[in-house]
Amino acid sequence: MSDENTKEKEKSDWSKRELGALWRVDGQKQSYYSGTIKDSDGNQVKIVCFPNSFKEKGSNQPDIRIYASKEDNE
């Protein structure tokens, strides 16, 4: 298999495993990430991610919390 075919296969493998993408948003009070992910049915779900402000040093609590984004009409 040539290097080009190997690179294309690796790219294809990554594409198949991709769930979504996030963008950094610099808000007035804090920075967060916003984007979309695909659920198990292939539907796009809008999400936002915030740093875990309740994390205690040395704990096994998560660094980032992920939430479904509220729609404007909710």
Per-residue pLDDT tens digits for 16-61: 889 999 999 999 999 999 999 999 999 999 999 999 999 999 999 9
Taking the model in full, what pTM does it have? 0.73
Task: Evaluate whether residue 4 is within a structural domain.
Answer: no
Which residue in 59, 64, 56 sits closest to 31, CA to CA? Answer: 64
Amino acid 67: pLDDT = 97
Whether the predicted pLDDT of 63 surpasses 90 = yes
Q: How many distinct structural domains can be found in the chain?
A: 1
Task: Evaluate whether residue 14 is within a structural domain.
Answer: no
Task: Evaluate whether residue 7 is within a structural domain.
Answer: no
**Number of alpha helices (DSSP H) and beta strands (DSSP E) in the chain:** 1, 4
Task: Evaluate whether residue 74 is within a structural domain.
Answer: yes
Task: Evaluate whether residue 10 is within a structural domain.
Answer: no
Task: Evaluate whether residue 1 is within a structural domain.
Answer: no
Q: Which domain holds residue 32?
A: 21-74
- Work out the pLDDT band at 74, boundaries 50, 70, 90: low
Amino acid 1: pLDDT = 53
